[in-house]
Amino acid sequence: MKEAEKEDAGPGKCNVTNIHHPSITPYLVTAKPPRAAVLICPGGGHRMLCLGHEGYDLGQWFADHGIAAFVLKNRLAKDPGSTYTVDEHAMADTRRALRMIRSKATEWNVDPTKLGVLGFSAGGELAALAAMDSDEGDSKSTDAIDRMGCRPDFQVLIYPGSSNRFTVKKGMPPVFIALGAKDRDDISKGMVQFYLKYKEADVLAELHVYSNAGHGFGYRPGSTGAAGDWPLRLREWMVDSGLMTKE
């Protein structure tokens, strides 16, 4: 029997390790019509999941602003002693979560054609990989979830890690990128270069670089810095991109 999850919680943090049973925590919107939705992939270097400022708080913010959200707990490839990998296990969890949300779209008041994936840091790697490689599901499967496609309709990359793994091609989902200018070079410079690649491939893209921010700013209620308001910029982008209406 596998050991239970471990949680290190305190003011402003909720870091979870030892995850063996992937799950999603929903933040639903009951008002009609069916809502755009976001799967949130928290960061943590694949060693832990930072479910506070990169998970639950943001999920609630989305629901309060008319967007359904689902916070993912995925298996961790770099948790000490882990036998999991990013490509085989964490990505399987990410794709399965996207399929599950679509399979329950009616029940959860979600528009299955407006389902995006959002990731921070290591979770940003998962989000980008999900947008790069997807499928339409297995129509012959006896599992209703596996019959659903796992392609996200848009991607949100917040200071994503492992940008050296990213590729860009025509037809990819639209992308919103936010990062700090004081972050490490593979993010602060690398993602600026990727913005240009998205533009060259005619992929709808928006980039926000916050001059006074570094890595890990996430979302914290009550933040007074410009970087703390990035969810508002994302919501504006979603309106401009036809993913939701202005309310």
pLDDT value at residue 138: 97
pLDDT value at residue 206: 98
What phi and psi values does residue 203 have, to the nearest 5 degrees? -95, 125
Domains in the chain, start-ordered, CATH in brackets? 16-240 (3.40.50.1820)
Instruction: For residue 20, count other CB atoms closer than 10 A to its CB.
Output: 14
pLDDT value at residue 9: 86
Q: Which residues of the chain have pLDDT under 50?
A: 1
| Residue 181 in tokens | 């200018």
What does pLDDT average to over the chain?
Answer: 96
State the Cα–Cα distance between residues 228 and 242, nearest whole angstrom.
Answer: 24
